[in-house]
Amino acid sequence: MSQRARVIELYKTLLYLGRDWPNGFDFFRKRLHGAFMKNKDEKDPEKIEKLIAHAQYIVKEVETLYMLKKYRTLKRRYYRDG
């Protein structure tokens, strides 16, 4: 898969994950768009690979935050003391 295709796939994945962002989807979309536009003129393949790796890390972090939120909600729902 080309770097361009991977970047587009990451953008779409992050956009999808942003639907449930606490500050709202519009806030998340603007910040995401700004982050991607900041590096749009990058030509160095090694630098692009580092940026892709960082974006993949961000995807994992956002997924982890959502899982933690879900866990805490379920814990509060079923265990009133904790």
What average pLDDT does range 30-42 have in this prediction? 94
Instruction: Give 17-68 as a DSSP string.
Output: HGGG-TT-HHHHHHHHHHHHHHTTT---HHHHHHHHHHHHHHHHHHHHHHHH
Q: Give the global pTM.
A: 0.81
8 A C-beta contact, residue 59 and residue 14: yes
For residue 35, the model assigns a pLDDT of: 93
What is the overall mean pLDDT for the chain? 92
pLDDT digits (tens, 9 = 90+) for 40-63: 999 999 999 999 999 999 999 999
